[in-house]
Structure 1
Amino acid sequence: MGVDRIAGDDAALVLFSGGQDSATCLAWALDRFARVETLGFDYGQRHRIELDCRATLRHGLATIDAAWGRRLGEDHMLGLNALGAVSDTALTRETEIGFEASGLPNTFVPGRNLVFLTFAAALAYRRGIRHIVAGMCETDYSGYPDCRDDTVKALQVALNLGMERRFVLHTPLMWIDKAETWRLAQSLGGRPLTDLIVEESHTCYLGERGARHAWGYGCGQCPACQLRAEGYARFTATD
C-alpha cells in the first residue's frame, strides 16, 4: 500500500509491550478494527523480559476468538537503544526504585511515550494505517507527564501537522484504574482473556518471572506489581 493512500477506519496499530495494559488494548482493537498490527520497542529496558511475552500473547489472543485471529496482522519490533542510553532511570539501570527531587518516580523515562508514538505514526504512515492504540492511563500513571490525556492530544495534533495525515490516537485505558482494566479484558474476552493476561503478560519493573501470584508473575513489591495486584484484588472481590 502506498503512502498516498490512507486505509481509513479499518486498520489499527497497537503499541504492544507484552504487559497487561497493552494486551488489553490489543484485545480492544481486535474487537473494533478489521486489520490490527502490533509494534514493540526494545530500548534497553530493565524488564526486557516483557518482550518475550509478546508472541505467546498474540497467539493466545488469536485463539480466543476466531475473528480476532483473522484480524491480527503483522508484528513489528523497533530497537531504540538511544533512548535507553540517554536515560538514567530505574527502568534502564540497575538502581533502587524511588523518587526524584522533582517528585516523579525514577521509573519515569523522559520522552519515552513521545518517542513511541512518533515512531508508531511513522510506521502507520508507511503501512497505510490511520488508528494508533496505546495504553497510556491518567488514573494509575504514577504521575508520568507523558501519560496524560493532554499530552496525547497535543501529540496527535503535532503528528497530523507534521505528517499531513489524520491519525487518531486511541487510549482506551486513559480514565480507568487497574480493576476496571481487568473488567474491560473480561468484557472483551471473558475468562480465557483474563487467564491469558494473568499467565502470560509481564508487568514487574524488575523483570521478575519466578514468583507466581494470583495476579501473575512478578516481584510483588515494585510499584507496577503493587498496582496490578491491588487492581486484581478489587476485580476479583466484585466479579
Structure 2
Amino acid sequence: MPDPQRHTRALVLFSGGQDSTTCLAHALQRYDHVETVGFDYGQRHHVELDARLNVLHHLRAQFPDWARKLGPDHVLDLAVLGSVSETSLTRDMAFRMQANGLPNTFVPGRNLLFLTLAAALAYRRGLSALVTGVCETDFSGYPDCRDDTMKAMQLALSLGMDQRFLVDTPLMWIDKADTWRLARDLGGDALIDLIVEHSHTCYLGDREHRHDWGWGCGSCPACELRARGWAAFRKGVRA
C-alpha cells in the first residue's frame, strides 16, 4: 500500500458540498500543494458547480495560509455519465428506493469514473494523492462509497498507470455530525460558517430556503442527512 508520508501533492474531488469542502480543508492541512477537480455529468441542476467556485473564493479569502497551498481548479465534462444514467440526480423523477435495495440517487459507476479521470488528471499534473469524501457511515447504500471499493480503485489505478496513488478518504468512518466536528477542528467557526453559507448539498438545487445548517429544500435525502448531522453536532457543542 502507498505510504501517506510520500505523498505531498493532492487532487481533491470537489463538488462544493459539505463533505468535499471538509475534505479540501483536510487536504490543505495535510499536503504541500492541493488542486481541485469537479465534474459536470449532466446533473439535474448546476447549483453545485456554482457553489464550488463560491467556496473556493471564500476559502482563499478567509484562510491565507491555505490559499498559498491551493493551486488550480479543474472541471471535467462527463455528459456521457448523465446520458447513460436513469437516476433522480440526472433525471426529473421522484426520490425512491429501487427493487435492488439502492436509492435511485445512486448513479452507477459515478465514483469509479470520477476516480479514474481524476487519476488521469493527477498523473498529468504530478499529483499522487486523490482525496474524496466517500464514507460507509452515511453512504446510503452506495456500493461505490465502500472502503473495499476505494482500496480496489487505489490498487487498480496504481497498477494501471504505473504510479503509486493514494486514495485518501478522511470521512470514511465518520457520520455527518463528526464531519461538522472535523471541519471545526480544521478551520474553527470560520470554516463552519463558510460551509453553512456557501456549500451546497440539496439534491433539488434549492438556494431559496435558508436553514441553520445551510441552504436547501429541507426534505430531500441529502438535506435531511445534513440537518440531522447539524443537530447532533450542535447538541454536542452545547453539552
TM-score w.r.t. length of structure 1:
0.96
Within 1, Cα distance between the matches of 2:199 and 2:52? 8
1:54 aligns with 2:48: no
Q: How far does the alpha carbon of each residue in 1:128-153 deviate from its partner, in whole angstroms, 9 at most, with x for none? A: 11111000010001000000000000
Secondary structure at the aligned position of 2:31 is classed as coil
Within 2, Cα distance between the matches of 1:10 and 1:158? 21
Give unpaired runs (5+ residues) of structure 1: 1-7
| Alignment equivalent of 1:154, drawn from 152, 155, 170 | 152
Which residue is equivalent to 2:131?
133
Give unpaired runs (5+ residues) of structure 2: 1-5
Which residue is equivalent to 1:203?
201
Within 2, Cα distance between the matches of 1:84 and 1:55? 22
Which residue is equivalent to 1:188?
186
Deviation at 1:67, TM superposition (A): 1.4
Could you tell me whether the CA contact under 8 Å between 1:47 and 1:204 is conserved in 2?
Answer: no
Map 1:116-127 to 2 at 5 A.
Answer: 116-127=114-125
Paired amino acid for 1:55: L
Between 150-159 and 52-61, the greater mean CA deviation after superposition: 52-61
Which residue is equivalent to 1:233?
231
Secondary structure at the aligned position of 2:207 is classed as coil
Runs of 4+ in 1 over 4 A off after TM superposition: none
Q: How far does the alpha carbon of each residue in 1:24-71 deviate from its partner, in whole angstroms, 9 at most, with x for none? A: 000000011111000000001114211101111112222332210100
Secondary structure at the aligned position of 2:68 is classed as helix
Secondary structure at the aligned position of 1:100 is classed as coil
| Alignment equivalent of 2:214, drawn from 189, 212, 216 | 216
Within 2, Cα distance between the matches of 1:101 and 1:65? 46
Paired amino acid for 1:126: R
Deviation at 1:200, TM superposition (A): 0.3
Within 2, Cα distance between the matches of 1:101 and 1:73? 43
Percent of matched pairs sharing the same residue: 65
Could you tell me whether the CA contact under 8 Å between 2:22 and 2:179 is conserved in 1?
Answer: yes
